[in-house]
Amino acid sequence: MTPERRYQPHDLAAYEAGVRAGPCFVCAFVAGAPGAAHVTVYEDDQHIAFLDRYPTVPGKVLVAPKAHIEHAVRDLDEPAYLRLMAVVRKVALAVEAVLRPERTYLLSLGSQQGNAHLHWHIAGLPAGTPYRQQQFHALMTENGVLASTDEEAAATGERLRAALSALSGFSGASGFTDST
């Protein structure tokens, strides 16, 4: 039996206006700008992983380089790309350990028009999700975002940090912070 998830409408027009005209959301978060806080799951000198502010599935995490990089292929040399992907993989393993999804989606989204800072979405598809609500449907905020409290987000962040700490060989595990 799948736990009941509460969804709320997402103001797409306001969101689009913010990401197209506002500051880079990752850079603002990394700099500690007011109103830009997220629940941090992992942090090291070069990367940050945090809960998505507008999740469409439970425990959706974004992973990004701290430096403002816009393109995974052109802007990263191979060692930097592989370091970033190692973080993405480890965070995805933590998402799987905590949420036990049917499948884990990994996507890099954004464009020069909005959300330009390179970031990877780690989205665990909840087991039992009806087929027509899977894949892109499960990721589109047009279908609503999960309604959750700050306390629920903090608890999810703590569970993910604990799972990451338990993963052997994950360098930087002592670098966890919670920026709620």
Going along the chain from its start, the domains and CATH numbers come out as 7-166 (3.30.428.10)
Q: What is the pLDDT of residue 91?
A: 98
Alpha-carbon distance 68 to 75, whole Å?
10
Residue 5 pLDDT: 75
Question: Concatenated DSSP letters for 67-116?
Answer: S----TTTSS-HHHHHHHHHHHHHHHHHHHHHH--SEEEEEE--BTTB--
Q: Give the mean model confidence (pLDDT) for residues 135-139.
A: 93
> Distance between CA atoms of 69 and 76, rounded to whole angstroms?
8
For the stretch 57-88, pLDDT in tens is 999 999 999 999 999 889 999 999 999 999 99
For the packed helices 150-166 and 78-99, what is the interaxial angle rounded to 10 degrees?
110
For residue 107, how far is the Cα from the chain centroid?
A: 10
Band (170; pLDDT cuts 50, 70, 90): low
* pLDDT (0 to 100) of residue 174: 40
Average pLDDT, the chain: 90
Q: Is the pLDDT of residue 136 over 80?
A: yes
